[in-house]
């Protein structure tokens, strides 16, 4: 049976095993604890919380002065006075030398990691969208199944983002977390809420190269979509270019793997700095954020998607979950939809009875572009960061989050932490500082495991729904357990 093997995609998480058998996420866990301990030690004797307040005052005053200069007016005397006072207070706020040095090292290490993420995001998203969409051209020719699949993906991903937005607006995990971040608000405030027409205009680039140079994510995505569709329509003639896009996408994924090797160090540095500045209250705030994501994932995966399964595929949810459990467990532990793909297909065929004609098409596509869990997480995380910065996003901006989170999930590869990388797109689109990623990165691995298993559950349910509508489910296999053993 021709089947995409994990080795075919460099997107696979290498098992990431060390000689002692420890895996990347073990190191991330250890780094997280060490980071908290180090941050706690820094926060304890020092005056860091006070320093952060002064730093923010300096930033806000500087921002007001910059704004005035931009608009060609004299800065208000109060702003100058505020700046002088805050700078003096900052200088006077003594912190032990060792903690200042450690904080500076942590800041540099954290920034380095964030810059690497920023470096990779544009090419990664561009090539992966061009490649996936160009292949959709073939898919459209597969007519009915293709369109049913895309319809299912679009509806469920949209619902996931919507659910995430509703939950994050109700729970508001980031409100009161502004002590986590020292310098975001001024930068973010420059974005301003877009009007609906502005929103529309912002999507279409007048110059795609400029859009890339300025990391204008929505415009890049729009251009990549156009190029992908064009290449798909051109068929054979464009095959070489599509293959080049695939190779380049794979190369970007290889680089992402290299960057991920640094994740434990980044987590240690970012966590130590964050806890050092904000104290232990940070943990509580992050717990609230994690809870929001996990609650959203649970509702979407185990209520919304299972209800869709019951309604459209007429399969008992419990029987189904039991059947695909190995795929869910594998996706949870590897945090990679692509690595789980062979198991996803195996279980869908041999436990649920979905015919190979459907699984061989729907599952690989789903592992690449259908990521409900990731989409939900992206929307919650972006809103959490906005709330932490004390920025209220207007309805127009939340629509923007909706659009970009959906597209960012489509663009995310089925590999560990891909969602964290494409997060930059959502933040960028609504003018939030990318530094916000620094806060959520520490707990991202755990959330990645949870969201990946919802991604895979969504792929399996999609295959079942499409298969049922095509009459391609083998009832004998589906109900095999019910029959008395011969
Ligand atoms: N790890 C996820 C997946 O493979 C993608 C993500 O980072 O959200 O499905």
Per-residue pLDDT tens over the stretch 202-214:
778 899 999 888 7
Domain 24-482 bears CATH identifier 1.10.3860.10: yes
Mean pLDDT (whole number) for 405-432: 83
Q: Which residues pair with 354 in a beta bridge?
A: 473
Give the mean pLDDT of the chain: 80
DSSP code per residue over 39-106:
HHHHHTTS-HHHHHHHHHHHHHHHHHHHHHHHTTSPPPHHHHHHHHHHHHHHHHS---HHHHHHHHHH
CB of 459 shorter than 6 A to ligand 1:
no
Among 451, 454, 462, which is best to mutate for testing ligand 1, by the most ligand atoms less than 8 A from CB?
Answer: 451
pLDDT of 323 reads: 87
Q: Which residue has the tokens 């005397």?
A: 77
pLDDT of 195 reads: 54
CB of 374 shorter than 6 A to ligand 1:
yes
CB atoms within 10 A of CB 91: 9
* R_g (Cα) of the chain, nearest Å: 24
C-alpha of residue 417 to centroid of ligand 1, in Å: 6
pTM: 0.69
* Distance from C-alpha of 483 to C-alpha of 486, rounded to nearest angstrom: 8
Cβ contact 339:13 at 8 Å: yes
CB of 13 shorter than 6 A to ligand 1:
no
Cβ contact 412:366 at 8 Å: no
> What are the extents of the domains in the chain?
24-482
Q: Which of 444, 109, 440 is nearest to 266 (CA)?
A: 109
Q: Which of 258, 300, 1, 256 is nearest to 163 (CA)?
A: 300
Cβ contact 370:461 at 8 Å: no
CB of 445 shorter than 6 A to ligand 1:
no
CB of 335 shorter than 6 A to ligand 1:
yes
Closest approach atom of ligand 1 to CA 335 = 1
* Distance from C-alpha of 163 to C-alpha of 405, rounded to nearest angstrom: 12
Tell me the three state secondary structure of residue 181.
Answer: coil
Mean pLDDT (whole number) for 428-449: 81
Provide the pLDDT confidence category of residue 372 given band limits of 50, 70 and 90.
Answer: very high
Residues 312-365: tens digit of each pLDDT: 999 999 989 988 988 888 888 778 888 788 788 888 988 899 988 788 778 877
CB of 38 shorter than 6 A to ligand 1:
no
């Amino acid at each position: 049976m021709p089947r995409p093997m994990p080795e075919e995609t460099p997107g696979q998480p290498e098992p990431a095993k060390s000689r002692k058998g420890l895996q990347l996420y073990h190191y991330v866990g250890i780094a997280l604890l060490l980071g908290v301990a180090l941050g706690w030690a820094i926060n304890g004797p020092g005056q860091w919380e006070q320093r952060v307040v002064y730093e923010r005052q300096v930033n806000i005053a500087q921002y007001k002065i910059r704004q005035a200069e931009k608009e060609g007016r004299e800065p208000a005397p109060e702003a100058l006075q505020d700046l002088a006072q805050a700078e003096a207070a900052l200088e006077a706020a003594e912190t032990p030398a060792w903690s200042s040095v450690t904080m500076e090292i942590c800041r540099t290490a954290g920034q380095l990691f964030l810059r690497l993420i920023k470096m990779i995001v544009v090419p990664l998203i561009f090539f992966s969208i061009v490649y996936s969409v160009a292949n959709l051209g073939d898919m459209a020719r597969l007519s009915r199944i293709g369109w049913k699949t895309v319809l299912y993906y679009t509806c469920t991903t949209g619902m996931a983002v919507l659910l995430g937005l509703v939950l994050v607006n109700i729970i508001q995990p980031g409100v009161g977390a502004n002590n986590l971040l020292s310098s975001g608000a001024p930068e973010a405030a420059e974005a301003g809420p877009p009007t609906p027409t502005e929103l529309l205009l912002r999507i279409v680039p007048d110059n795609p190269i400029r859009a890339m140079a300025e990391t204008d994510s929505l415009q890049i995505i729009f251009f990549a979509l156009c190029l992908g569709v064009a290449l798909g329509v051109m068929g054979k003639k464009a095959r070489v270019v599509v293959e080049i896009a695939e190779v380049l996408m794979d190369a970007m994924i290889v680089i992402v793997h290299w960057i991920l090797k640094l994740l434990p160090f980044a987590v240690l540095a970012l966590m130590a700095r964050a806890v050092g500045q904000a104290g232990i209250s940070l943990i509580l705030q992050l717990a609230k954020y994690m809870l929001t994501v996990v609650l959203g994932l649970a509702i979407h995966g185990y209520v919304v998607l299972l209800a869709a399964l019951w309604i459209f595929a007429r399969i008992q949810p419990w029987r189904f979950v039991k059947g695909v459990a190995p795929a869910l467990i594998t996706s949870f532990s590897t945090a990679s939809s692509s690595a789980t793909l062979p198991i996803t297909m195996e279980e869908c065929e041999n436990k649920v009875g979905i015919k190979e004609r459907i699984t061989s098409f729907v599952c690989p596509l789903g592992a690449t572009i259908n990521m409900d869990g990731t989409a939900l997480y992206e929307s919650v995380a972006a809103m959490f960061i906005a709330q932490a910065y004390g920025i209220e996003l207007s309805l127009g901006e939340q629509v923007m989050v909706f659009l970009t989170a959906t597209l960012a999930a489509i663009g995310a590869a089925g590999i560990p932490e891909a969602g964290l990388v494409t997060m930059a797109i959502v933040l960028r689109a609504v003018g939030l500082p990318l530094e916000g990623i620094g806060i959520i990165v520490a707990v991202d691995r755990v959330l990645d495991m949870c969201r990946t298993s919802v991604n895979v559950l969504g792929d399996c349910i999609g295959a079942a729904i499409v298969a049922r509508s095509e009459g391609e489910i083998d009832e004998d296999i589906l109900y095999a357990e019910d029959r008395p053993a011969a």
